[in-house]
Structure 1
Amino acid sequence: MFSEALSPAVRAHCDVLFNFHTDLARRTLESLQAISEVNMRLLKEAMSELGEASQRVLSAGNPAGQTASARGNLGSTALRNYQQGLADALARANHSLAQSAEAHLPHVSRSANALADELVRKANDEAAKAGERQRQALERMGLHAANGLGRPSLTH
């Protein structure tokens, strides 16, 4: 029932906006998933490096010296991999969102212009109708005045 009250231009613009926002949301979720995967990979690599460092410390003859050197390298490879993976994921996200905007914004612009044109056309039509109603009302008032119906009485 509500959709019947909407003009075709309003419905078309809403459809275009809905498609655009749906595509943006999908691409954003894909990007967030990629970033989450990078975060999980960092955790796995850091845990693996921590485990390997712990094994080296436990198997070393001089635990104090091994512990100090293990602390220096612990997580450095994982962190470099994380930074590279995060930069890649963000670059892909940027590219994907730019593609979405490039694909949808011309349609959004056209439908917004069509909607604005329709609103201006309807406003002009309504203004013309109101002007005609006002002209007719003034004509009726003029007829009443000419017939003596609209004149105030000067006699007391």
Structure 2
Amino acid sequence: MSTPVTLAEGWICHAQGMKSSRPQVSRIVVGLAGLACVALLGGCTGASTGGSESVGGHSSEAGHGSAGSACEEAAVGETLGHIVGEAQMVVASIDSLECSGDWASASATVAGRDEGSQPFAEVFLLQRDGDIWVLKARETACGTFSPGGPRPTDAEVPADLWEAVCLTS
């Protein structure tokens, strides 16, 4: 029996050639795979300035510049909007935002742009890189841990965010 795959994990699984078990992830994966290509090309051409979008990252990361890189709902929401927008989805609401240093955990309600699509909750892990928020893969940023065990020493996520981000599905 496979476990459900989150939006971010579905994109990362696709980038690594793995299959996901959630039907809506397939649309998301197609859009986010395009984002990965843009991100790779964006790294070659450099960052844009002004009001235009800034894209960077690797095959398992996506980032977008925002008007301000502060850990605020507007800046993080703008980044999430760009990320899910590539999959023809929208952020219906940001339900919670927790910040620690250059890290942010955002719980958001995401929905498809098609009429009648069912919204669903998603947890996103982001790290600030200069003025860009970058989507991070929880399975790598959370470190190697055993269920019920303590926060692993190889975890990148700050201790005060680790439990909320890494122990949620």
Q: TM-score range by the shorter chain?
A: under 0.3
Give the structure with the larger strand fraction: 2
> Of the two, which has the highest radius of gyration?
1
Give the TM-score normalised by the residue count of structure 2: 0.21
Give the structure with the larger helix fraction: 1
